[in-house]
Chains A and B, each alone.
Chain A
Amino acid sequence: MQRFNNDQVSAAIWLALGTIICLAALGYDLGTLASPGTGFMPFLAGLAMVLFSAIGLGYGTLRRKQGTGWKPTLRGLRWDKSLLVLTALFTYIFLLPPLGFSLCTALFIGFLLKAVKPQKWSVVVSGSILTALGAYGVFELWLKAQLPKGPWGF
């Protein structure tokens, strides 16, 4: 990775993605210029991505030659915290239907309050319960948001 800089790496990924999009769009009817088909616009968009990422790859390569190397994106940062938050988000989504909104929300808030920048247990417990109750009251009862209900009916 040290041989390439950030722009080269990202542009290469976009180039691959743009190519995939163009190939996938060919699977739909491109039509003709006089009667563009379903695949026309995605193909154009993919082609534009290929073009601009190729420019980016050239730009990145030029900068590499001028000495611009890989710029660390995570150095000195607590990236484990953002990974924790992301994991919590995905877990919330998958547990929401079976557990229901209120329990899932309480667990979610409690986890974030304790795991990311640990708060006292009193804050964690009261915060998670009050937030879940408050959110239920506002969104379910007042705004009628029809949030998922767990096996306990809330």
Chain B
Amino acid sequence: MGFQVALQPGNLLFCFIGVLIGTLVGVLPGLGPVAAISLLLPTTFHVTPVSAVIMLAGIYYGAMYGGSTTSILVNIPGEAASVVTCLDGYQMARHGRAGPALGIAAFGSFIAGTLGVLGLMLIAPPLAEMGLKFGPPEYFALMTLGLTILTFLASGPMWKALLMAAFGLFLGCIGMDTLMGAPRFTWDIIELSDGIGLVPVVMGLFGISEVLLNVEKSMERSVFETKIKNLLPDLRDWADSIFAILRGTVIGFFLGVLPGGGAVISAFVSYAVEKKISPYPEKFGTGMIPGVAGPEAANNAATGGAFIPLLTLGIPANAVMAILLGAMMIHGMQPGPMLVKEHPDLFWGAVTSMYLGNVMLLVLNLPLIGLWVKILKVPYPILFPLILLFCLIGCYSLNNSIVEVLIMVIFGFIGYLFKKFEYEGAPLVLALVLGPMMETALRRSLLLSAGDPMIFLTRPIAAGLMLVSFFLLLYPLIPRLGKRRTILPPEKKED
């Protein structure tokens, strides 16, 4: 059924458009997959839900592919998950090995993406069955764990990330209380009765704020001038990379599944693992090919893994999945355990299209590298007005609302201040998306238990998840275990 749906000419076209735009977005610094999906969301209103999800998913993993190009050639990550690729990829380019770096990144991403899709096909249906056993306490506990993991792994002090999450939970309360039907914090503004939209917030926090920060600095960037040759890695490159790719795939897939995990964390963990087990750890950062292969594989495998909690439990694992969740709900779909049963065409069509998308990306990335390099050379002073215009139009066209555009710009300024004071936006975004669901789950759980909060500790699955959350929250206080490992980079741009 999946191939029947994915191979329809219309869906193939949307898959192609999605991966092409995603690669373009990934190549261009300044516009990440979150902003791209947000901008293009309105364009999906005129197509079927299946096609919409296929295209938006294509943008996501296309951006993962494209991000490696700028990391290797310009030493600027095209998107957040490619930050690590800069470390060794750019060094490889400086030593005349840009071709093998780009090639192994593309092939590694293809292998990981394909294996990730296979993992999704195997794990998702039984997880959906398990999801049917989840009640409000389990959902609340799982979402709490997701938020906790993200705050635990964020860079900087954990209190900042927790503060962002708490603020995000508050923002999620703005609008109509769905259980009581009463407005909250709307100040008689009609547009706020539906809540603060996710799209204006993410476009502001990650798109507009990034532009505001970039225009303050020198806007020159130099593209590494080299004739790129030998894109196909040789046997030695494969020998050095294949196990890194396989390890990165496993790391990325399972970290991608966890709410709060995702491509960025996966890439960093993979890099740390490769450096740890390498016989030459001191050479990492000087052009080691496993330092490119592993993280690029991890961030692509994470995209497949991230779809699992979204499609099977209806819980977005990260900000990109949160927007996809919003897109599916706009199209009348309710992701969750019943999705496989009620909309098998959507589920299997989306899964199969990911595999086809990976093939398209491999075909696109290698031959079109020259084109991407040309695009990279468009001067930023010319590029940033276009980025801003896309943000403005994309936000306005969601609901034809000037108020939402105003919200986006306000959050753009807030995001700018966040970056100045070293606060991260990712926990806020995840909490904004999860907040309404968490509130519903929390209130229903308390109703079920007649007000007894121990319900979260007496039901086994919920108890297990809550205990892990508590442990992660208390971990930084344990003196001997020392400093919390920071996995995420200081935020440049999100997914």
Instruction: Report which A residues bind B (CB closer than 8 A).
Output: 6-7, 10, 14, 17-18, 21, 24, 28-29, 32-42, 44-46, 48-49, 52-53, 55-56, 59, 73-74, 77-79, 81-82, 85-86, 89-90, 92-93, 96-97, 105, 108-109, 112-113, 116-117, 119, 123, 127, 131, 135, 139, 143-147
Contact = CB atoms under 8 A, between A and B. Distances in A.
Minimum-distance CB pairs A-B, first 10: A34-B451, A33-B451, A48-B166, A117-B381, A45-B170, A77-B216, A73-B420, A145-B397, A45-B169, A52-B163
B381 A97 contact: no
Given A109-B386, A112-B385, 11 more contacts: A28-B182, A28-B184, A33-B446, A36-B443, A45-B169, A52-B166, A56-B157, A89-B412, A93-B406, A108-B389, A131-B386
Nearest to B438: A41
Contacts of B413: 86
B421 A6 contact: yes
Identify which of A90, A113, A117 gathers the most chain B CB atoms within 10 Å of its CB.
A117
A42 B166 contact: no
A76 B160 CA distance: 26
B409 A147 contact: no
Contacts of A28: 182, 184
B170 A10 contact: no
Nearest to B165: A48
Nearest to B420: A73
Nearest to B445: A36
18 contacts: A34-B450, A37-B180, A39-B184, A40-B439, A52-B166, A56-B163, A77-B216, A82-B212, A82-B216, A85-B388, A93-B405, A108-B388, A116-B384, A117-B381, A139-B397, A143-B43, A145-B393, A146-B400
Interface of B: 42-43, 46, 157, 159-160, 162-163, 166-167, 169-170, 173, 177, 180, 182, 184-185, 208, 211-213, 215-217, 219, 381-382, 384-386, 388-389, 392-393, 396-397, 400, 402, 405-406, 409, 412-413, 416, 420-423, 435, 439, 442-443, 446-447, 450-453
B213 A143 contact: no
B396 A147 contact: yes
Nearest to B422: A6
A88 to B, nearest CB: 8
Contact of A82 (B169, B180, B215, B451): B215
A86 B409 contact: yes
Given A42-B185, A45-B166, A86-B413, A56 B402 contact: no
A38 B182 contact: yes
Contacts of B159: 52-53, 55-56, 59
Given A86-B409, A145-B42, A112 B388 contact: yes
B385 A109 contact: yes
Contacts of B211: 85
Given A21-B170, A48-B169, A89-B412, A56 B160 contact: yes
B447 A35 contact: yes
Contacts of A73: 420-421
B166 A127 contact: no
A39 B46 CA distance: 38
A49 B422 contact: no
Given A55-B159, A92-B392, A10 B219 contact: no
Contacts of A10: 421, 423
B386 A49 contact: no
A99 to B, nearest CB: 13
Contact of A78 (B184, B215, B386): B215
Nearest to A58: B159
Contacts of A105: 389
Contacts of B160: 56
Contact of B177 (A18, A38, A116): A38
A37 B160 CA distance: 28
A77 B169 CA distance: 33
B221 to A, nearest CB: 13
A143 B217 CA distance: 35
A139 B393 contact: yes
A7 to B, nearest CB: 8
Nearest to B444: A36
B396 A135 contact: no
A144 B397 CA distance: 9
Contacts of B216: 77-79, 81-82
A53 B163 contact: yes
A38 B180 contact: yes
A143 B41 CA distance: 12
A34 B423 contact: no
A38 B179 CA distance: 8
